Amino acid sequence: MIDPRRLRVLRALADHGTVTAAAGALYLSPSAVSQQLAALEAEVGHALLERRGRAVRLTATGVVLALHATRVAEQLERAEADLAAVSTGVAGEVVIAAFATSIIEVVAPALAALRQQAPRVRVRVNDSEGHNSLRLVLDGEADIAVAVEHGFTLGSGGDRLLREPLYAEPFDAVLPPGHPLADAASVDLADLAEVAWITPWPGNPVHDMVLRGCEDAGFRPRVECLSDDFRAVCALVAAGAGVALVPRSALHSIDVTGAEVRPVTGRPPTRRVFTAVRRGSETHPLLELALGGLRAHAAALSPP
């Protein structure tokens, strides 16, 4: 009989690539992970790992068993969802990992409404930028991720997530005082090709979206200032350090005094936000309740 707890260890190794990283995700010591994997090899009677010095990789048998481990995990998620569905009343805890703007615009309002609708449900929120929220869901540290479409990859782990579009929003141009286009009704990005730019740091999905939008307009922006905080970006624009593109919802809670905000003509860069849960957990009543609240409060952010 295969111990499903050891399958979880094998799955973590497949996701994270090293014993040390898998141990960190499981809150175990590397030696404990190695012991569990050795015990699993003894259970199945096959070598699951190829050891090359300190590095390890899955054998062909290990890859097959890791796929089965994923299916077992999904079925256990469905079992928990079904058990929760037959219970009376709604009570429990949901953990949401989301980036800062989505917390302000969607998650926090949904949480407030959920407290009125289901006071026995506890919602915990983790501020998580980039694709870190997806990894938290895969590792079981969060139930729902709110993330931005981006060109990153989670390897085989991405197949274990069920994604659903949440909202899409355009980027607006933020111009310094006195800019020649400050009085225009809208801005063509091509007209900003020769000026200095302010963007988030590389690795932030918004950085890549801004660069892609400028490249689609025929130029590569000359980036002179970097900040992941949109308040800082707008403050730098107001100080005359350059121009910026900022997602529209991020501007709702920012004082842009001293700067001018204008829509972008044509097809502006668009931030597409989605939710993700582990496959099999999507019918859990607590997650359905939380996801429904997120969708309701996100509806106003997507352009018609």
User: What total of structural domains would you count in the chain?
Assistant: 3
Measuring CA to CA, how many Å separate 74 from each of 45, 69, 175, 191?
25, 9, 48, 50
pTM of the shown model: 0.71
Instruction: List, in order, residues 6 or more apart from 111 with CB less than 8 Å away.
Output: 123, 125, 293
159 plus 285 within the same structural domain: yes
Encode pLDDT of 19-55 as tens digits.
Answer: 778 788 778 887 777 777 777 777 777 777 777 766 6
Q: What is the CATH number of the domain that holds 57?
A: 1.10.10.10
204 plus 177 within the same structural domain: yes
151 plus 207 within the same structural domain: no
DSSP state at residue 241: S
244 plus 173 within the same structural domain: yes
- What count of other Cβ atoms lies within 10 Å of the Cβ of residue 303? 10
104 plus 149 within the same structural domain: yes
Per-residue pLDDT tens digits of the chain, which is 304 residues long: 777 777 787 788 777 877 778 788 778 887 777 777 777 777 777 777 777 766 677 778 777 777 777 777 777 777 777 776 656 556 788 999 999 899 999 999 999 988 888 888 889 999 988 788 999 999 889 999 999 987 655 555 678 899 999 999 999 999 998 888 888 899 999 999 999 999 999 988 889 999 999 999 999 999 999 999 999 999 999 999 999 999 999 998 888 888 999 999 988 899 999 999 998 888 888 898 899 999 999 988 766 5
209 plus 254 within the same structural domain: yes
- What count of other Cβ atoms lies within 10 Å of the Cβ of residue 88? 5
Structural domain ending residue among the three candidates 51, 84, 117: 84
156-195 core/surface letters (b: 16 or more CB in 10 A; e: else)? ebeebbeeeebbebbbbbbbbeebebeebeebebeebeeb
Structural domain ending residue among the three candidates 37, 53, 84: 84
Q: Which domain holds residue 96?
A: 90-167+272-301
d(CA 261, CA 67): 49
Structural domain ending residue among the three candidates 39, 55, 84: 84
123 plus 215 within the same structural domain: no
Q: What is the CATH number of the domain that holds 172?
A: 3.40.190.10
